[in-house]
Amino acid sequence: MNWLIAISNILINPIFYKSMLNNATPLIFASLGGTYSETTGVVNIALEGIMLAGAFASVVFTYITGSPWIGVLMAMYVGGAMGMLHALASVKYKGDQIVSGTALILLSQGITGFLLQRIFGEPGSSELVKTLPTWNIEIFRRIPFIGSIIGNLSPLVYIAFICVILSHFLIFKTKLGLRMRAVGENPEAADTLGINVYNVRYFGVIMSGVLASLGGAFLSVGELGQFTENMSNGRGFIALAAMIFGNWKPFGAMWASLLFGMAESFSYQIQTQSILRLPPEIKYLFLMIPFVLTLVVVAGFVGKTRSPASDGIPYEKE
Amino acid sequence: MIRDMKKKMFKNFITFFKRDTFVIPLASIVLSLFIAALVILSIGKNPVIAYASLIKGSFGNVQAFITTMIKLTPLILTGLAVAFGFRAGLFNIGAEGQLSMGALAATMFGVYITSVPAIIAIPIAILGGMAAGGAWGAIAGYLKAKTGAHEVISTIMLNYIAALLANFMVNGPFQAVGTGIPKSPEITDAAKLPVMISVQASSLSIGIIISLIAAVIIYVIIQRTTVGYEIKAVGFNPYAAEYGGISIAKNIVLAMFISGALAGLAGTVEVLGLHHRFLGTLSAGKGFDGISIALIGQNNPIGVVFAALLIAALRTGSNQMQFAGIPKHIIIIVQGLVIFFIATERLVKTLILWKERKEEEVLQK
């Protein structure tokens, strides 16, 4: 009974939905990124590392320039550069994409940790910097209940949803999108038709870097106003699961990200319910929820979704 | 028969040093250290001093050497775990979680099995730890075999779940009574591994010998047994293997179990030989280091031992480097670079083998 009360307390509280959106945002960016990359046939597990680099770059450049927007732009630039590196390894040199992704994650952890200590003088976390000011959207704010959820959020949250719509349009309604899908499904055939397989793949992987780094920037200058070591904390991998669960489609990735965001939000909110009188260590069990959910989703749905046919296979021109 | 085997092993050993499998990692390491030297230069430090302090910090005196050996012990095992997975075509990123689960189980056996002699307590704790790590790995193997869930994602999720479970245990039901600190009770003396050599606070247990024996056993399993043959066949070409009557599903689960058991053994020797209790933060990246080690060692158990030695030395020496004013994250950068170069094998080849590149150019014309 107490559980029912606790759960309904959570469900009627707008904070639950607001934090769901905030938790989902980095996942939406990163899973969209994964969708771009894998649509063209390149697996990008480096998302985790790219998010971390994006989070770091945005804090550093906000710290230097005082403008979080410049921080976000530089994060996109750094993310694109990391995507470029991954593309270099996996498209040009036809290396193992998962190995290259692992290398980028390590590089990102090493370089952010190294520079963190050089720039801010201390390991662990950066100084506090300005966060992006939230946007007040009057039309949304007037709606009862919902207005208190979506009326006043970080601009990156709105941008994430706009990116979903734009990506859907780009991938399914434009010539470039058709080429991306062709290259991911059957690169030989695409090549025969005169499509430059390598360029399209470069585009997909670089876009994935740009988007994932936006997710990282949201974590630091969007929410916390600080960089802490390894702050991406597995979100890049959860985003990959969201991409799979979302059947390699932008809207699918968005819904899946919202689900994971909700699980995360729930795992925090349930701990605050004093009516349950939970011992403090129980929080560790609740924090498992998003990860267990990811595992269940990946195991339960992977057979029912379908990846691009040439996903993960380097293309060798004959 | 045995002489024949020895001869063949020796021959394998020699050809190993001649092939790409030796040249590529070595070239990658040299390249990475060179780039890291440039990074060190860029922050106004002397790379020669940095690397000298690195070597001094890892092999400079007996204590440094012992510390390196203590670090080496679990790294050989996590390296073997990942390498064994690779041989079966599986990317086990989950050594971290498997290590944790193995350590947790070994500690439970070590704490709750009292009043038996060491000769019984130690093997029970080891088997328990290996079984727990193996089971944690087999979950991912089972999911892959049954539903096609990619092991990269499932093992990573299992890592987070294991870490949270570990924290729950040492903050809750398995906390040492009355401490309020996240650590488990101490294991009984009988379950502690005998110490071989001890200098000041660091003592090297026989865990390192267990690791080396494991490397030999894995070498034999891969090269000499039907199990190893089937697992390699599935890793090499699953459909051909299945056509030849080898079950893909069975071998995926089995390979993940063995891989997890090795990682679990790593956690076990950490508990029985070093910490003598379970700590929530026990794994601390050793599982991820296993990935670097397997890749540098080219999934060969002999290679893994040397690669583990390299990483252990880097990790131990990096503390000394930190005193010289160089952030120890440089070591992670080196590790990342080495793996990046190994992934881009062709890039490395074109960089080091100018001749081959010229030939390629000629061919292209």
Residues B91-96: what's their mean pLDDT?
Answer: 92
Say what percent of chain B tops pLDDT 90. Answer: 48
Chain A contacts of B161, Cβ < 8 Å?
A: 288, 291-292, 295
Report the share of chain B in percent with pLDDT over 70: 91
Give CA–CA dist B76/B79, Å, rounded.
Answer: 5
Q: What is the mean pLDDT of residues B64-70?
A: 93
B194 and B316 co-located in one domain: yes
Domain match, B272 and B339 both: no
What residues make up the domain containing B301? 57-326
At residue B359, the pLDDT reads 53
Residue A292 in domain: yes
Q: Which residues contact B189 (CB under 8 A, 6 or more apart)?
A: none
Per-residue model confidence as pLDDT tens digits over A224-251? 999 998 898 889 988 998 998 888 999 9
Which pLDDT tens digit goes with each residue over B237-261? 888 888 888 888 999 999 999 999 9
**Do B237 and B342 fall into the same domain?**
no
Report how far residue B118's alpha carbon sits from residue B190's, in angstroms, rounded to the nearest whole number.
4
Whether residue B341 is found in the same domain as residue B209: no
Q: What per-residue confidence (pLDDT) applies to B276?
A: 92
Q: Are B330 and B318 in contact (CB under 8 A)?
A: yes
Please name the member of A45, A114, A234 whose beta carbon is closest to the beta carbon of B160: A234
Q: What is the mean pLDDT of residues B354-359?
A: 51
| pLDDT winner (highest mean) among A42-51, A262-271, B108-117 | A42-51
Asked if residue B351 is part of any domain, the answer here is yes
| Mean pLDDT along residues A251-257 | 95
Lowest-confidence segment of A238-242, B72-76, B209-213 by average pLDDT: A238-242
Phi then psi for residue B196, to 5 deg, are: -90, -45
Q: Residue B179: is its pLDDT beyond 90?
A: no
Amino acid at A253: A
As a whole number of angstroms, the distance between CA B36 and CA B30 comes to 10
Beta partners for residue A135, in sequence order:
A153
B196, with CB counted inside 10 A (0-12, 13-18, 19+), is middle
Mutation to test the B interface, candidates A31, A88, A90, A107, most B Cβ within 10 Å? A107
Distance CA A81, CA A63 (A): 21
pLDDT interval class at B17 (50, 70, 90): low
Query: Is the domain of B277 the same as that of B345?
Result: no
**Looking at the structure, do residues B348 and B256 belong to the same domain, yes or no?**
no
Using pLDDT thresholds of 50, 70 and 90, give the confidence band for residue B34.
Answer: very high
Exposure string (b/e) for B77-91, b if CB count within 10 Å is 16 or more?
bbbbbbbbbbbbbbb
For the segment A50-73, the average pLDDT, to the nearest whole number, is: 96
Q: Are B363 and B294 in a shared domain? A: no
Q: How confident is the model at residue B9 (pLDDT cuts 50, 70, 90)?
A: low
- Mean pLDDT for A104-116 is 93
| Beta carbons within 10 angstroms of residue A191's beta carbon | 17
Complete DSSP assignment for B89-125: T---TTHHHHHHHHHHHHHHHHHH--SS-HHHHHHHH
Predicted confidence (pLDDT) at residue A48 exceeds the cutoff of 90 = yes
Rounding to the nearest 10 degrees, give the CA dihedral for residues B109, B115, B116, B118.
Answer: 80
Q: Which residue has the tokens 């397997």?
A: B294
Region A67-75: mean pLDDT is 96
Q: Kindly state whether residue B1 falls inside one of the protein's structural domains.
A: no
Q: How far apart are CA A16 and CA B98, in angstroms?
A: 34
Provide the percentage of residues in chain A whose pLDDT is more than 90.
58
Cα A275 to Cα A256: distance, rounded to the nearest angstrom:
30
- State whether B293 and B365 are in the same domain: no
For residues A253-282, give the mean pLDDT: 87
Please give the single-letter amino acid code of residue B80.
L
Do residues A104 and B347 touch, judged by C-beta distance below 8 A? no
Q: pLDDT-derived band of residue B358, with 50, 70 and 90 as boundaries?
A: low
Cβ atoms of A75 and A54 within 8 Å: the answer is yes
Q: Is A114 helix (H, G, I), strand (E, B) or coil?
A: helix
- Largest Cα–Cα separation, chain A: 67
* Residue numbers of the domain that contains A53: 2-301
Asked whether residue B308 falls in the same domain as residue B178, the answer is yes
Give the three-class secondary structure for A136: strand
- Write out pLDDT tens, residues B296-312: 898 999 999 999 999 99
> What interhelical angle do B95-112 and B62-87 show, nearest 10?
120
Number of domain units in chain A = 1
DSSP H or E stretch at residue B195: strand B195-199
Q: Which residues of B touch A46 (CB under 8 A)?
A: none
Distance (Å, whole) CA A317 – CA B102? 46
Q: What is the pLDDT of residue B81?
A: 96
Q: Is a pLDDT exceeding 90 seen at residue A164?
A: yes
Written as one letter, the residue type at A90 is S
pLDDT digits (tens, 9 = 90+) for B259-297: 999 999 999 999 999 999 998 877 778 888 899 899 889
What CATH number does the domain containing B216 carry?
A: 1.10.3470
Residue A150 confidence class, pLDDT cut points 50, 70, 90: confident
- Give A54's Cβ-side CA count (13 Å radius): 35
Query: Does residue B16 register a pLDDT over 80?
Result: no
Q: Is B182 helix (H, G, I), strand (E, B) or coil?
A: coil
Residue A8: give its domain's CATH number: 1.10.3470
Q: How far is B224 from chain A (nearest CA, A)?
A: 28
Q: Say if CB A227 and CB A59 are below 8 A apart.
A: yes
Tell me the mean pLDDT in the region A47-71.
Answer: 96
Tell me: do B151 and B178 sit in the same domain: yes
Q: How high is the pLDDT of residue A203?
A: 96
How many domains, chain B?
A: 2
What is the model's pLDDT at position B355? 45
**B159 assigned to some structural domain:** yes
* CB-facing half-sphere around the CA of A225: CA atoms within 13 A: 10
3-state secondary structure of B354: helix
| Pair B213, B87 in one domain | yes
Reduce the DSSP state of residue A230 to 3 states and report it: coil
Backbone region of residue B363 per phi and psi (left: phi > 0; alpha: psi in -120 to 50; beta: other values): alpha
Distances (CA, A) of A22 to A148, A152, A219, A242: 14, 11, 9, 16
ipTM of the complex: 0.88
Question: Is the residue at B47 inside a domain?
Answer: no
Residue B22 placed within a domain: no
Q: How many CA atoms lie within 13 A of A201 on its CB side?
A: 33
Give the confidence band of B151 by pLDDT, cuts at 50, 70, 90.
confident
Beta-carbon contacts of residue B246 (< 8 Å; ≥ 6 apart): B230, B233, B234
Does residue A52 sit within a domain?
A: yes
As a whole number of angstroms, the distance between CA B182 and CA A281 comes to 10
Which residues 26-65 on chain A approach chain B with CB closer than 8 angstroms? 45
A residues 98-137 lying closer than 8 A (beta carbon) to B: 98-100, 102-111, 113-114, 117-118, 123
Name the phi and psi angles at A157, rounded to 5. -65, -50
Q: What pLDDT sits at residue A25?
A: 97
Label residue B156 by pLDDT band (50, 70, 90): confident
Residues 6+ apart with CB under 8 A from A164: A28, A32, A250, A251, A253, A254
What are B195's strand-pairing partners? B205
- Partners of B343 on chain A (C-beta within 8 Å) are 89-90, 93, 95-96, 99-100, 103
User: What are the tokens at B257?
Assistant: 């179990």
Q: Is the CB of residue B225 less than 8 Å away from at least one CB of chain A?
A: no
Domain shared by B252 and B132, yes or no: yes
